Structure 1
Amino acid sequence: MNKQAGRRDIARTISLLWRQPDTPSGRRGPKPALSTDTVVDAAIEVADANPTTPLSMRMIGDHLGCTAMSLYTYIPGKDELLDLMHDRVHAELPPIADTGDWRMALSDWAAALFALHTRHPWTLDVSLARPVLGPHEQAGLESLLSILYSTGLDAPIIRRSVSMIFHFIRGSARTLAEIRSASTIGDSEFHWWAESSAALADAAPDFADDFPHTMQLGREAPPVPGGDFYLERETEESFTQGLQILLDGIESRIRKHS
């Protein structure tokens, strides 16, 4: 699944994003078999269950027991559907408690968004260049802005901080998604790295001399293998520690500002 920015019917998509939840119309006649909400929910279930398979309208139709063509009664197309799915899962972001501790609040917010992306890795295919602009995604941004404004930072610094935070979270989540995807095919992570390291040693016997700092880092801070999923753990720990480094930078700006 790879949604390119700018391909959707903008007016219709935004109208669907901000519509009221599906409710019985009260009209006489047979009840519709599906609704926009049921199609979106089904699409999320299918995408979550098949993270390495491109989502198709046929897959969703099979999940619902209907034809792919019948889905277009409720959804203009797959690009618009992905926008609706993306906004729907952002409703999972919990409200951030106002404790007066901006750092803890921002840590909690970032961890929640990272967890959302790892639960729903297909959300990483939605373009950051042209956001969805749905109500749930906007509520998440509003929470982040409320935390940053509470620090007293100027708006230009807040704008750059928002961009930096989103890129860090999405980049970390994408790395984890790629590791999980790679682990479903071929060798285990540990075996792949062991085989690759041996091949590199044969092909580049002067590697240690040519790249001394790479070797130094490997000696002084080696990854700690712990079964087939150690790279997942390494990525999660890198996110947690990297986030604190990022927050240190924001805190430094706050001190300079005050």
Structure 2
Amino acid sequence: MTTDNDGIRDLARGMRLLWRATGGARRGPKPTLTVDQVVRAAIEIADARGLSALSMRAVADRLGVGTMSLYTYVPAKAELVSLMLDALDAEGTLPHTIAGSWRERTESWAREDWALYHRHPWMLQASARHPLGPNTIRRFDSALRSLAATGLPVAELVATADVIDNYIRGMARRSIESRELQRRTGVSEERWWAELEPLLTQYVTADEFPAVRQAWAGGAFASDIDSFDYGLQRILDGVEGRIRALD
């Protein structure tokens, strides 16, 4: 579920705002704020209380201005969320600027995005349908430049970037949900599974679920393998296999 508008909007207006293409001098009193100040205040609210708590009134209150005056900077919440996402895409190092192989650059990109989602979990609640700003495009361009050394066809570069991005988002969502459950309930993941295990032993029998019981007996579910890193490495192994197949 998303909390910002994912339907048809005035995309031209949103793009002008994202790219700061105002198109002429502004009439009326001299502004007391900047769009960037509005965006930063909105990010602080979403970080603290989630995207559902974000409203134009909440941002106005945080900045100490009237709600109606805020609309002279950003026309609606949907455009504000797009600005917030683009601002956060400016965080971190562009992967193509990192010394190393395409794989090392891609690993850096994946870990930076993983950390970004954990700093700003509301990003995963935002609609995928929003105008793309300069920082978002710059980061995507950097990802493609990082993968270009693979020699894959351009269409496959885009598909590979999409696979990696979806993997990061999916794993981050799972991790953040687990963290939020622990915060709300006071029960850690480890404690929850420890309490469930005796019941699973009773219901998950070796006759009916032999593979699960074999993995269980072998300690697979108590493994210290980092699932995020393991999955990322297997994806990149697959990319390397594809590169070899094209040689």
TM-score calculated relative to the size of structure 2: 0.85
Q: Would you say the 8 A contact 2:103–2:236 is kept in 1?
A: yes
Distance 2:70 2:211 in 1: 55
Distance 2:132 2:8 in 1: 15
Sort the Cα spacing of 1:53 and 1:182 in 2 relative to 1 into closer, same or farther, 3 A: farther
Distance 1:132 1:216 in 2: 49
Instruction: State percent identity of aligned pairs.
Output: 42
Deviation of 1:127 after TM superposition, in Å, equals 3.2
**Structure 1 position 217 matched with structure 2 position 209:** no
1:248 to 227, 237, 240: 237
Sort the Cα spacing of 1:70 and 1:52 in 2 relative to 1 into closer, same or farther, 3 A: closer
Aligned to 1:231: none
Distance 1:53 1:183 in 2: 20
- Equivalent pairs, count: 241
Sort the Cα spacing of 1:219 and 1:5 in 2 relative to 1 into closer, same or farther, 3 A: farther
Deviation of 1:102 after TM superposition, in Å, equals 0.9
Structure 2 gap segments, 5+ residues each: none
- What are the superposed Cα offsets for residues 30-69 of structure 1, whole Å, 9 maximum, x if unpaired? 6433222111010011111224853222322222223433
- What are the superposed Cα offsets for residues 123-161 of structure 1, whole Å, 9 maximum, x if unpaired? 112333x35311000011001111222211112322221
Distance 1:65 1:224 in 2: 51
Sort the Cα spacing of 1:215 and 1:3 in 2 relative to 1 into closer, same or farther, 3 A: farther
Q: Secondary structure at the residue paired with 1:210?
A: coil
Sort the Cα spacing of 1:100 and 1:191 in 2 relative to 1 into closer, same or farther, 3 A: closer
Residue correspondence of structure 1 range 13-52 to structure 2 within 5 A: 13-19=14-20, 31-51=30-50
Sort the Cα spacing of 1:62 and 1:195 in 2 relative to 1 into closer, same or farther, 3 A: farther
Aligned to 1:139: 138
Return 76-85 or 208-217, whichever deviates more.
Answer: 208-217
**Structure 1 position 148 matched with structure 2 position 147:** yes
- What are the superposed Cα offsets for residues 109-130 of structure 1, whole Å, 9 maximum, x if unpaired? 11111211111111112333x3
Return 205-214 or 117-126, whichever deviates more.
Answer: 205-214
Aligned to 2:183: 184
Return 159-168 or 31-40, whichever deviates more.
Answer: 31-40
Residue correspondence of structure 1 range 21-170 to structure 2 within 5 A: 31-51=30-50, 54-96=53-95, 97=97, 99=99, 101-128=101-128, 130-170=129-169
Structure 1 gap segments, 5+ residues each: 226-233
RMSD over equivalenced CA pairs, Å: 2.7
Q: Which amino acid aligns with 1:213?
A: A
Q: Would you say the 8 A contact 1:201–1:207 is kept in 2?
A: yes
Q: Which amino acid aligns with 1:13?
A: G
Distance 1:240 1:169 in 2: 10
Q: Secondary structure at the residue paired with 2:75?
A: coil
Q: Secondary structure at the residue paired with 1:209?
A: coil
Q: Which amino acid aligns with 1:244?
A: Q
